[in-house]
């Protein structure tokens, strides 16, 4: 195993550790997710958030029988539940396993595992994105889901930091004791359970060589709403470290693991930049891009009409 160099700044003298340390700003572990989780004490993490492999044969996974894959997921979830604080949250972000053209929705298969482990579902969040592979024999997939579980009814949830702009911010009460007063929350509205956030494609500011990369803003919303400053955020399938970056950007500690050395080195660089405030990310409050209808690329070519 190659050693990672430690990183430190004036703001974070603890730096980035290669084995779990409570005093480190971030732990980036090269190895199996269970080996990292077993280093972490019971009830230590306020948030565990990850997107595990979907068992579809990507370069970072070994495809197995679906039952074998789910047993591996249960192993990870058992350890995750052990290290999760009683008032913490577990967010499992998944798409579909596809075999022979048939789609197996992983959130439906993961849900009963989490229930057996004593977790309670708070939201099934739909993450919608507009770009991806185009299907020819079914509708193109344009969403994945985040299963948000807690251990108890007493859990951290901070809504105000993740509110989004109101549709009608100038709306007022028209009757009753508050007639004439503004009716909407001045901080914005609850973002709901359908999140429209661009996925990381070739022209995305955060793009790395990883084929299935988390957008940082997706995790920022979870970090800000489900943790407090100084809390521990864990991603057992870290990839290039987007979850750890989101934690670092908002003053949370983090730990993550991966078995691909290239991803680990990218994660180290990105987390180091996040800790110093130099990481380039897509801002949380930036609207989804809408092309100007006057540009040629946004207009239907007349050749299409002539062929109809």
The phi and psi torsions of 208 (rounded to 5 degrees) equal -125, 180
Q: What is the secondary structure of 62-126 as a DSSP string? A: ----HHHHHHHHHHHHHHHHHHEEEEEEEEEEE-EEEETTEEEEHHHHHHHHHHHTT-EEEEEEE
206-248, pLDDT tens digit by residue? 798 887 888 999 999 999 999 999 999 999 999 999 999 999 9
Q: Which of 112, 46, 114, 119 is nearest to 83 (CA)?
A: 46
Digit-coded pLDDT (tens) for 70-120: 999 999 999 999 999 999 999 999 999 888 889 999 999 999 999 999 999
The helix/strand/coil state of 255 is: strand
pTM: 0.89
Residue 185 to residues 63, 170, 171, 192: CA-CA distances in angstroms? Answer: 48, 10, 10, 15
Tell whether the torsion through CA atoms of 27, 33, 37 and 38 is positive or negative. negative
Burial (CB < 10 A; 0-12, 13-18, 19+), residue 68, is exposed
| Buried/exposed code over 133-166 (b: 16+ C-beta within 10 A; e: otherwise) | eeeeeeeeeeebbbbbbbbeeebbeeeeebeeeb
Domains in the chain with CATH codes: 16-156+193-306 (3.40.50.150)
What percent of the chain has pLDDT above 70? 92
Pairing of strands 84-94, 16-17: unpaired
Cα end-to-end span (Å), the chain: 61
SS3 of 266-307: the string is HHHHHHHHHHHCCCCCCCCCCCCCCCCCCCHHHCCCHHHHHC
Mean residue pLDDT of the chain comes to 89
List pLDDT tens digits, range 25-67: 999 999 999 999 999 999 999 999 999 987 876 677 677 899 9
Answer whether 233's CB lies under 8 Å from 257's CB. Answer: no
């Amino acid at each position: 195993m190659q050693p990672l160099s430690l990183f430190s700044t004036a703001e974070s003298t603890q730096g980035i550790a290669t084995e779990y340390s409570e005093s480190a700003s971030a732990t980036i572990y090269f190895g199996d997710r269970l080996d990292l989780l077993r280093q972490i004490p019971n009830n230590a993490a306020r948030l565990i958030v990850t997107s595990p492999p979907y068992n579809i044969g990507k370069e970072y996974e070994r495809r197995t029988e679906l039952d074998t894959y789910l047993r591996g997921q249960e192993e990870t979830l058992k350890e995750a539940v052990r290290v999760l604080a009683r008032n913490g949250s577990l967010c499992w972000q998944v798409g579909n396993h596809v075999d022979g053209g048939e789609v197996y929705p992983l959130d439906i298969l993961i849900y009963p595992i989490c229930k057996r482990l004593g977790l309670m579902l708070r939201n099934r969040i739909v993450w919608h994105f507009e770009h991806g592979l185009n299907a020819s024999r079914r509708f193109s997939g344009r969403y994945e889901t985040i299963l948000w579980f807690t251990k108890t009814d007493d859990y951290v949830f901070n809504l105000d930091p993740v509110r989004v702009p109101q549709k009608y911010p100038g709306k007022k009460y028209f009757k009753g004791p508050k007639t004439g007063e503004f009716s909407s929350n001045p901080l914005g509205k609850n973002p709901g359970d359908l999140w429209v956030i661009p996925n990381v494609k070739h022209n995305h500011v955060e793009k790395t060589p990883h084929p299935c990369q988390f957008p940082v803003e997706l995790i920022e919303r979870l970090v800000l709403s489900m943790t407090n400053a100084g809390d521990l955020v864990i991603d057992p399938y870290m990839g290039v470290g987007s979850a750890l970056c989101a934690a670092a950007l908002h003053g949370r500690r983090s730990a993550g693991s991966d078995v691909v050395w290239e991803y680990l080195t990218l994660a180290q660089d990105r987390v180091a930049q996040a800790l110093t405030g130099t990481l380039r990310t897509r801002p949380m409050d930036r609207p989804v891009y809408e092309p100007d209808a006057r540009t040629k690329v946004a207009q239907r070519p007349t050749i299409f009409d002539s062929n109809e």
